[in-house]
Amino acid sequence: MGDRLRFLLNRINERLWVRPLAMCVLSTAVVFLAKTADNTGIGQLVPAITPDSIETLLTIISTSMLVISTFAVASMVSAYASASSTATPRSFSLVIADDVSQNALSTFIGAFIFSIVALIALKNGYYDRAGRFALFALTLMILATVVITFVRWVDRIARLGRLGGTIDKVEAATAAALQRRRRAPTLRGVPAGPCQSGGQAIYGGSIGYVQRIDVAALQTYAEESRARITVAALPGNFSAPGRALAYVTTDSGDLSDIDARQIAQAFRLGDHRQYDEDPRFGLIVLSEIASRALSPAVNDPGTAIGIIGTFVRLFALWSEPIEEGDTRISECDRVEVPRISLRDMFDDAFTAIARDGAGAIEVAGRLQKALESLVSIGDAQMRDAAIHHSRLALARAEKVLSIPEDLEVVRKLAKFASAV
């Protein structure tokens, strides 16, 4: 239930209109909430506030907030376009979900709606003495909130959409996905065996990427039908005709009563991959950013070198031992789920950089140093994957580098791979 709620909240955060709409409703409710002060009998205890003073404040807020809201939207759109052009379009969903920018826009629009509704109520004599004092206090609070929010947002919008900030967001999303997968390597199911093609194949009702698997729903159906379900498509895999999502077997061997549609509904499909349950997607996006930086049009090897360091941090995180009690128990014993392949993750991360950076000595050298660091971590699978990619990177560099001294440097750095 928690995973499903988190997935839905992340999708809501990617909708720019949700928070401003909620703030508009809240602002309207606050205007009418101020009227309740007239029913408390504190009218003789509070200072008398003239309607003109409140009207002046509300007029200032209403005229300025509309301009600031328009400016905020224009700045955010510019930042989104910058993120897509300088980094990769696949980072757009992370940039648009920036909490500070969404909260700022919501505050500006909410303040504008508050001022308009409050002006209408004030002009029609809706408030008495206590209500006017409450409205005046609320107006000052909103004005202070707007000022603080604007100052904080200006600092954030200066960085939003910039390449460094985008890389940080992708790294954070990838690290979070890796942490969740480390704690539940089989998505709370049981590990799948080497053979995953036995039984009745279940195909998706549409074409797209697997974004999320409701393993609990699969377990419920398997218990009711006395069946076993083997997941064949992890989050991030592409579902198309002829590519099964899962395979089903029953205890009795009778597959005639299997409801393929109900099983397929546990697989959420979409047009695009999501970061939440798909660690490999974050690695691919970082690799795309590095490849763009290494293109002749950009020629920014420093960004690629920085992303290589990011990969070292992410794979070091993946190899860290899981603390006792931090691993999620495999509750769904009738659902078999394959583990994510570390070799595939290395392919996603390093293949493009090794290819596009083979001709840049600084990139090729840093890549060999990074892979050597991953070899020394002590994980056997990671060691094999790092050595494999070190050899591939060296082979690519040997095809491209024309200066013997540069090639000798790369060979010396790749010595650990050739010696195995």
pLDDT at 26: 93
Confidence of residue 89 (pLDDT cuts 50, 70, 90): confident
pTM: 0.85
Residue 295 neighbours by CB under 8 Å, 6+ apart: 356
pLDDT at 2: 65
Backbone angles phi, psi at 200, to 5 degrees: -80, 130
Q: Tell me how far apart the alpha carbons of residues 133 and 54 are, in angstroms, rounded to a whole number.
A: 9
- Contact between residue 202 and residue 246 where contact means Cβ atoms under 8 Å apart: yes
Q: Which residue has the tokens 């993750």?
A: 345
Looking at the predicted structure, is the pLDDT value of residue 345 above 90? yes
Other C-beta atoms within 10 Å of 124: how many? 8
Looking at the predicted structure, is the pLDDT value of residue 325 above 70? no
343 three-class SS: helix
pLDDT at 1: 60
Looking at the predicted structure, is the pLDDT value of residue 43 above 70? no
Question: Which of 155 and 358 is assigned the larger pLDDT?
Answer: 358
Q: Tell me how far apart the alpha carbons of residues 111 and 385 are, in angstroms, rounded to a whole number.
A: 55
Q: Which amino acid is at 27?
A: S
Q: Tell me how far apart the alpha carbons of residues 272 and 281 are, in angstroms, rounded to a whole number.
A: 10
The CB-side HSE value for 171 (13 A sphere, CA atoms) comes to: 19
Token pair of 302 as six digits: 């420093």
Q: Which residue has the tokens 């460094």?
A: 164
Average pLDDT over residues 154-169: 85
Q: Tell me how far apart the alpha carbons of residues 337 and 185 are, in angstroms, rounded to a whole number.
A: 9
Q: Tell me how far apart the alpha carbons of residues 55 and 256 are, in angstroms, rounded to a whole number.
A: 73
Looking at the predicted structure, is the pLDDT value of residue 328 above 80? no
pLDDT at 78: 84
Other C-beta atoms within 10 Å of 52: how many? 9
Is the backbone of residue 274 left (phi > 0), alpha (psi -120 to 50) or beta? beta
